[in-house]
Amino acid sequence: MIFSKKEKQLVAYTIEKCPLCKKESKREFKQGDCLFVESSKCVSCNITMNIAKIFGEPIE
Ligand SMILES: [Zn+2]
C-alpha cells in the first residue's frame, strides 16, 4: 500500500504580550485561549499579560 497523500499538520501557538514591558512569550495554544483576553502573568512585572496573537505552524 502506498501513501501518496501527505497532510500537513498544524500546531497552534499563542503569543502573550505584557502591556508594560512589551515582552512577548510564545507557548502552545490551549483550549479557551482567545484574542486579547488576559492570560498568564509576566514574570518581571507581575501583571497579567494579554494574548496578542494565535497562529498555526506546520509540523515538518
Ligand atoms: Zn512585563
Whether residue 33 lies inside any domain: the answer is yes
Range of the domain at 26: 10-58
CA distance 48 to 13: 18
pLDDT score of 26:
95
Mean per-residue pLDDT for 37-57? 92
Whether residue 44 lies inside any domain: the answer is yes
pTM, rounded to two decimals: 0.74
Whether residue 3 lies inside any domain: the answer is no
Whether residue 5 lies inside any domain: the answer is no
Whether residue 4 lies inside any domain: the answer is no
* 39 Cα to the center of ligand 1, angstroms: 12
Question: Chain-wide mean pLDDT for the chain?
Answer: 88
Instruction: Give the number of domains in the chain.
Output: 1
Whether residue 38 lies inside any domain: the answer is yes
Q: What are the grid coordinates assigned to 56, written together?
A: 498555526
Residue 60, pLDDT > 90, answer no
Alpha helix stretches (DSSP H) within the chain: none
* 36 Cα to the center of ligand 1, angstroms: 16
pLDDT score of 35:
87
- Name the pLDDT band for 3 (thresholds 50, 70, 90): low
From the CB of residue 52, how many other CB atoms can be counted at a distance below 10 Å? 17
Whether residue 19 lies inside any domain: the answer is yes
* 38 Cα to the center of ligand 1, angstroms: 13
| 16, 40 Cβ separation under 8 angstroms | yes
